[in-house]
């Protein structure tokens, strides 16, 4: 996730062509295929293959020219923010971070536990399903804190599982409203605090981290 939010530079033109919005993963092999790049002016999204990256630094990703970017109109939802259940229906939390070794995903981290990729059974449009063998259960899932007794999945409202593809409300809808919970960015850093009054800068920050959906549902009503 280190490349998220980095600017993308063209060697040929010397221009900033956008910034990294999200990773593109092969969910069969759990490897990074490339990145989704967004143009701040047009808000159009492009796909950049990993092999077309010429160089990468702490601040920027370098490509040869804009011809290496392919138009993308069907970017899947990020794994960050998705709910995880095991094959018994136990709720394992919401994904807050991903851990990679080079280009390969090693584990997903939820707000409840860590899950190695070999235990991911399927990745759906709404949730990630995990499967654990009884012999290795205690070794592959580190929960904190450890639940006591039978674990019951409690969903407080239907909104908690409602994850629309994209919130398209204008910035004026958000401005002046108050945030009811903390919102975290791609690298699990807090980008918006509970109780904060929403400004245009707050909306822009949520948009940059692809968190408009969470901002919408976090508004105090």
Residue-wise pLDDT for 155-194, tens only, equals: 344 344 444 444 445 677 788 889 888 888 877 788 898 8
**Tokens 């012999």 sit on residue:** 135
Residue with tokens 């904190």: 144
Q: Is residue 158 part of a domain?
A: no
Q: How many domains does the chain have?
A: 3
Q: What is the pLDDT of residue 110?
A: 92
Mean pLDDT of 53-62: 90
Domain that holds residue 27: 7-71
* pLDDT of 129 higher than 80: yes
Who has greater pLDDT, 151 or 127? 127
Average pLDDT over residues 108-127: 89
Question: Measured between alpha carbons, how far is 194 from 215 in angstroms, rounded to an integer?
Answer: 11
Is pLDDT above 60 for 132?
A: yes
Cα separation, 115 vs 113, whole angstroms: 7
In a shared domain, residues 98 and 67 = no
d(CA 199, CA 153): 35
What CATH number corresponds to the domain at position 102? Answer: 2.30.30
Q: Which is nearest to 30 in space by CA: 126, 111, 128, 110?
A: 128
Task: Judge whether 155 lies within some domain.
Answer: no
């Amino acid at each position: 996730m280190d490349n998220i939010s980095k600017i993308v530079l063209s060697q040929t033109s010397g221009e900033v062509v956008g910034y990294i919005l999200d990773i593109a993963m092969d969910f069969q092999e759990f490897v990074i295929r490339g990145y989704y790049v967004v143009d701040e002016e047009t808000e159009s999204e492009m796909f950049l293959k990993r092999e077309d990256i010429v160089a990468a630094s702490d601040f920027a990703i370098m490509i040869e020219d804009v011809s290496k970017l392919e138009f993308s109109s069907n970017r899947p939802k990020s794994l960050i923010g998705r709910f995880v259940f095991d094959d018994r229906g136990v709720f394992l939390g919401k994904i807050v971070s991903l851990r990679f070794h080079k280009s390969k995903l090693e584990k997903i981290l939820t707000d409840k536990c860590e899950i190695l990729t070999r235990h991911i059974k399927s990745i759906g449009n709404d949730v990630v399903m995990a499967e654990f063998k009884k012999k290795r259960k205690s070794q592959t899932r580190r929960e904190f804190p450890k639940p006591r007794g039978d674990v019951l999945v409690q969903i407080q409202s239907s909104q908690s599982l409602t994850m629309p593809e994209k919130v398209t409300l204008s910035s004026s809808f958000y401005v002046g409203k108050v945030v009811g919970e903390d919102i975290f960015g791609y690298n699990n850093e807090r980008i918006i605090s509970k109780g904060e009054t929403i400004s245009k800068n707050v909306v822009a920050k949520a948009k940059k981290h692809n968190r408009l959906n969470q901002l919408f549902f976090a508004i105090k009503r």
